[in-house]
Amino acid sequence: MNKKEVKRGLVPYLFMILIMLGIFYVFNVMNKDINNLTYNEFMEELNEGNVESMYITPRSNAKTYEVTGSLKGYKDNESYFSRLPMSEEVMKKIVELSETQKFELEAKNDPESSSLLLILINVLPFALLIFFAFFFLNKQMAGNKSSLDFGKSKARLNDSNNKVTFADVAGLKEEKEEVEELIDFLKNPKRFQKLGARIPKGVLLVGPPGTGKTLLARAVAGEANVPFYFISGSDFVELFVGVGASRVRDMFQQAKRNAPCLIFIDEIDAVGRQRGTGLGGGHDEREQTLNQLLTEMDGFGANEGIIIIAATNRPDVLDPALLRPGRFDRQVTVNLPDVRGREEILAVHSKNKILAEGITLSHLAKRTPGFSGADLENLLNEAALLAVRRNKNKITMSEIDEATDRVLMGPAKTSRKYSENDRKLVAYHEAGHAVIGLKLDNANDVQKVTIIPRGSAGGYNMMVPSEEKLCSTKTDLLEEITGLLGGRTAEEIVFGEITTGAHNDFEKATKIARAMVTEYGMSDLGPLQLEQQEGSVFLGRDYNKSQHFSNEVANEIDMEMRKIINDCHAKATEIIKKNTKLLQLIAETLLEYETLTKEQIDYLVENGKMKDDDEETSLESMSITKLRELAKEKGIKNYSKMSKAELLKELDV
C-alpha cells in the first residue's frame, strides 16, 4: 500500500474524530445549567458571601468583565454568568472580598488581545465546514466522473521504459520486414506518397499461440517514434449495450489527436467474430462494437496516419468485412519457427544463461521441432531452474533433457511404484517403437527412450524427423503409422498378450489414416476430399464436421482405414520379428538404465553393449547397478529398493 492510499484511508477516521469531539463539546455545553445574573444581583450575592469560585475574563472592546463561576448551593453542572463594568473600584472590591471570604478567584487573558486565537475561534469552524463540504463534493464529482468515463477507451500508451526492439525478436525475418515497412511510412511518408502508394490501414498477425505475434507488435512499438496504443479485444465488450461502440469511438478520437500513431488490438477475435451466427442469434453488444470498429477503420470519415495492428490465432471466426482491403489490408502469418529460426530464438533467450561447454544451440534446435518461441523460452527457463535446484553452476545437457521432458510430458513420477512385470512390459513396448524407428529409412529418428512415467504415460519414445519437410509423402505417413504400432506389436510378439498402453498410439495412427483417406486422397478411393475440418466454429470445432459422402462411401472409408492400419501392423510385425535380438537388447538396457539418449542408442546398436560405467563422466548415464553400489558405499539406507531417479536424488544429482 502506497502513501497516497494510506492518507486516503485516514481521512474518514479523522473526520469521524472531529465530529465526535464536536458532539461531545455541544453535549457538555447544552447540559450545563447557566444562570445569568445582573450586575446588582451578582454584587448582592458577592456581598452576602455566596460566591464559591469566580473566573474573570476582560473584554477590552466592550469595556466590561465577563464573570463566571459557582455559588453556594449550586449543583455540579450549574454556574452563573454576569457582566461587570471595567473599573478599578470594582476589581479592588472583588480582590478584598476574595481575601476575606476565601473563594477561588482566577483572572483570564482577553482572547481578543491575541489575533491568532481570535482567528482560530472565529474562522476555524467556518474553514472546517468549507473543507469538508468541498471534500465530500469532490468525492461525489469523482464518482460521477468515473460513471461518465464508463464509455471511455481503455487503450493505453506503451511504456517507453519497457522497450522491446527487433533485436529481441528472432526467427521472424520475413514478418519483421512486413511491419518494418509500416515504421518507414510513419517516419518518412513522402517517400511512399511520391509514387502514389497507400500504406495498409491494418495488418493482421495470424498464427498459433506462442509464435511471437504480441512480441512482434511490442517490437514495432519500440522501434517506432510515434504514440503506440495497445488494447485487448475483450476490453471493448461490456454487459451494457453501447459501451463497446463508445469505447471504439473514443479510442479513434484519441488516436486522431496524436496521429500519426499505431493501435495494437490483441486477441481481436473477442470482438471481431462473424455477425449473426451461433444458436439463438448473435451477441448484440459485440456486434454493435464490431460495426463501430468497421466504420472507424474505413467509413465516411478518414483516419489518416492511424495504422492498426491486430493479432489472433482464430482467423477462421473473423467477420469477412473485417478482412477486406481497406480495413485489414494485409495478413502476416506468424508460423512455428523452422530449425534456423529456433536456433536464433534460443540464442536470444540464452544470453543471460550460463551453458556448459559442449552444448550447441544448433543441436538443441534440431531436437525441438514443433516448438514455438514461447516453448523454447520456457525450455531454457526450466533448465536453469533445474540447474539451481541441483546446485550446479552451469546448465548441462542433463538439465536440458529433463526440461524438454517436462515441457512435453510433465514432471517425472518418481514416487509412482509399479511391479517388475509392468516395467518389463513398458520397456519392450518402448523398445518396439525404437526398433521401428531405427530400421525404417523414412521413419523419425529416435532421440530418447525412457521408461520413467510422466503424466499419464508409463514411458515414452521421443522421435523427431531427420529433416524438416514442407509436405509429407504417403510413404512418410505410412512409416509414421508403422512406428506408432511398434509398441503394441512388440507386446504381442514377446508376451503373447496386449495391454492398454498403446491407447495414445492408436489414437494418433487412426487420425493419420483417416486424414489419408478423407482429406489427402492417399487411398484406393482416389484423389477426393471427403471431409473438411472447418465445421461450425461457433458450435465446436468438430461438432458439425462437413461430410460429402453417402453411407456406401462411409463404409469404403472404414475399409480403407482398416487396410492401412492392418498393412502397417503387418510391416511392424515383420520388422520386429527380424530384429528380435535388437529389441531384447534395447529393452534389457532400458530396464537397467531407465533412460537412453540418441548417442547411447547409436553406441548400443553399433557395439551391442553400453559403455562401461567407469568410462561415464556423469551419474545420470550410469546403470542402476552402479548407482546402487555408490549408494552402498555412501551408507544410504534401502538403496536396493530405490529407482534410478531416487538414487540420483540421494546422491545429490
Return the higher-pLDDT residue of 432 and 153.
Answer: 432
Cβ proximity of 79 and 34 under 8 Å: yes
pLDDT at 561: 93
Q: Which amino acid is at 229?
A: Y
The lowest-confidence range among 29-43, 118-132, 230-244 is 118-132
Return the higher-pLDDT residue of 526 and 282.
Answer: 526
Q: Give which of 615, 614, 638, 618 is closest to 628, Cα–Cα.
A: 638
Return the higher-pLDDT residue of 390 and 465.
Answer: 390
DSSP secondary structure code for residue 501 in this structure: G
The secondary structure of 566-596, three-state, reads HHHHHHHHHHHHHCHHHHHHHHHHHHHHCEE
Edge-first strand order for the sheet with 595-597 is 460-464, 445-450, 595-597
Mean pLDDT, residues 632-649 taken together: 67
Q: What are phi and psi of 35, to 5 degrees?
A: -100, 120
pLDDT at 541: 45
**The residue to which cell 473473423 is assigned:** 318
Which of 58-67, 514-523, 562-571 reaches the highest mean pLDDT?
Answer: 562-571
Q: What are phi and psi of 463, to 5 degrees?
A: -125, 130
pLDDT at 254: 81
- The CA distance from 433 to 456, in Å, is 18
Return the higher-pLDDT residue of 243 and 516.
Answer: 516
Strands 531-532 and 546-547: antiparallel
The torsion defined by the Cα of 378, 380, 386 and 387, in degrees rounded to 10, comes to -160
Q: What are phi and psi of 56, to 5 degrees?
A: -105, 125
The cell numbers describing 229, all together, are 496504443
Rg value, the chain, Cα: 43
Confidence of residue 540 (pLDDT cuts 50, 70, 90): very low
The strand ranges marked E within 165-279 are 202-206, 228-232, 261-266
pLDDT at 549 over 50: yes
Catalytic residue numbers, as ranges: 430
- The CA distance from 245 to 292, in Å, is 5
- The CA distance from 439 to 579, in Å, is 9
Mean pLDDT, residues 353-375 taken together: 85
**The residue to which cell 535380438 is assigned:** 581
Q: What are phi and psi of 469, to 5 degrees?
A: -120, 150
pLDDT in tens, 219-261: 887 787 777 888 877 777 665 666 777 788 888 888 788 777 8
- The CA distance from 101 to 225, in Å, is 92
Which of 26-35, 395-404, 474-483 reaches the highest mean pLDDT?
Answer: 474-483
Mean pLDDT, residues 32-55 taken together: 80
pLDDT at 536: 47
Q: Which amino acid is at 316?
A: D
- Chain Cα centroid distance, residue 268: 17
Cα atoms in the Cβ-side hemisphere of radius 13 Å centred on 35: 15
The secondary structure of 266-290, three-state, reads ECHHHCCECCCCCCCCCCHHHHHHH
pLDDT at 244: 74
pLDDT at 169: 84
pLDDT at 539: 45
pLDDT in tens, 68-99: 888 887 877 788 888 888 777 777 888 778 77
Give the chain's mean pLDDT: 77
10 Å Cβ neighbour count for 518?
26
The cell numbers describing 556, all together, are 469404403
Edge-first strand order for the sheet with 78-85 is 33-36, 78-85, 64-71, 51-59, 104-107
Task: Give first-to-last CA distance, the chain, whole Å.
Answer: 42
Confidence of residue 328 (pLDDT cuts 50, 70, 90): confident
pLDDT at 23 over 60: no
pLDDT at 497: 87
Mean pLDDT, residues 354-367 taken together: 85
pLDDT at 601 over 80: yes
Q: Give which of 570, 601, 623 is closest to 431, Cα–Cα.
A: 601
The SS3 assignment for 412 reads: strand
pTM exceeds 0.85 for this model:
no
Return the higher-pLDDT residue of 645 and 5.
Answer: 645
pLDDT at 361: 87
10 Å Cβ neighbour count for 639?
19
Between 213-223 and 173-187, two packed helices, what is the crossing angle to 10 degrees? 30
Confidence of residue 26 (pLDDT cuts 50, 70, 90): low
- Chain Cα centroid distance, residue 94: 85
Return the higher-pLDDT residue of 454 and 301.
Answer: 454
The lowest-confidence range among 305-319, 589-603, 631-645 is 631-645
Cβ proximity of 468 and 338 under 8 Å: yes
- Give 193's contacts (C-beta < 8 A, 6+ positions apart): none
Q: Which amino acid is at 349?
A: H
- The CA distance from 98 to 55, in Å, is 12
pLDDT at 366 over 80: yes
DSSP secondary structure code for residue 454 in this structure: B
Tell me how many degrees the CA angle 630-600-407 measures, rounded to the nearest 5. 90
pLDDT in tens, 174-200: 888 888 877 787 777 778 778 887 777
